[in-house]
Amino acid sequence: MTKIRTNLLPTIVFVCISFVFITSFSQKQNTASNSTNTLSNKEIRDGWTLLWDGKTFNGWRGIYNANFPVQGWIIENGELICLGTEMPDSLKGGDIITEKKYGSFELKCEFKIKEKGNSGIKYFVNESVKSSPGHGLGLEFAILDNANWPYDKPDYNRTCGSLYDLVRAPENGVQPTGAWNNALIIVDGNHIEHWLNGKKSVEIEKGSEKYYQLLAKSKYANIKGWGEFKEGHILLQDEGPRTFFRNIKIREIKH
């Protein structure tokens, strides 16, 4: 009996060491896939890429500008931060856009706002359709503090997750100020969806009769070319109090 136990001892030790190694390796793999501003193996296989690398301003520039703004935007703790109204108007950085244009895509990111937050993620942005200096025009995933937004009305289409000024999102989808939210924008040809924290907040066909009816009632009704482009830049808005972004990822949809 003693002999058998002695012979089994090396095997038991080997199994225990292997278990510890595999568990440790697995934990490291899981940690790596959950790290901020990184892609999991599954995301890579599914065709996702980082739209922001978490460390630099590479791939982005100021609207109507060849370079990235010298002030108004900062990077801290793996977060892309717009200082917004903390800066006087003369020192604001303005909206930033991707250097590349996108047509059909899925875009996901996390965002966090402060009280009275007012920002947005725009797409189909074309610089030939100009707004005020430092601001671009396009379809917009609205980012707003629903509880404290001072200019909203029941018939306004401007809640968080809305297709700004066209399709109103449910009001109960946004996290309290200071908490991270998950945004997902899906554009597949003319089909548009907005998702906020895992719940669909908008679904519409661009170019449909309903779309044009909503456009006719919006602030964009008389802006020639608004919402008509089939591709454009992705834009992060410089508006309202400090706004935080991270884990900005995109997957192009090929047809």
pLDDT given for residue 154 in this prediction = 65
pLDDT given for residue 147 in this prediction = 86
Dihedral (CA of 146, 95, 68, 107) sign: positive
pLDDT given for residue 34 in this prediction = 62
What is the distance of C-alpha 109 from the center of its chain?
A: 3
Give the C-alpha separation, 111 to 81, whole Å: 10
User: Is pLDDT above 90 for 24?
Assistant: no
User: Is pLDDT above 50 for 231?
Assistant: yes
pLDDT given for residue 21 in this prediction = 42
Closest CA to 120 of 179, 167, 173, 160: 160
CATH of the domain spanning 37-252: 2.60.120.560
* pLDDT over 70 percentage in the chain: 84
What are the E-state strand segments in the chain? 49-50, 60-62, 73-76, 79-82, 96-102, 105-113, 118-125, 139-144, 181-188, 191-196, 199-205, 232-236, 243-252
Q: Rounded mean pLDDT of 171-195? A: 94
Closest CA to 236 of 74, 94, 79, 92: 94
Q: Rounded mean pLDDT of 117-138? A: 93
Q: With bands split at pLDDT 50, 70 and 90, how would you rate the model's confidence at 255? A: confident
User: In this predicted structure, which of 20-34, 180-194, 214-228 has the lowest mean pLDDT?
Assistant: 20-34
Give the C-alpha separation, 83 to 239, whole Å: 9
- Give the chain's count of helices (H) and strands (E): 3, 13
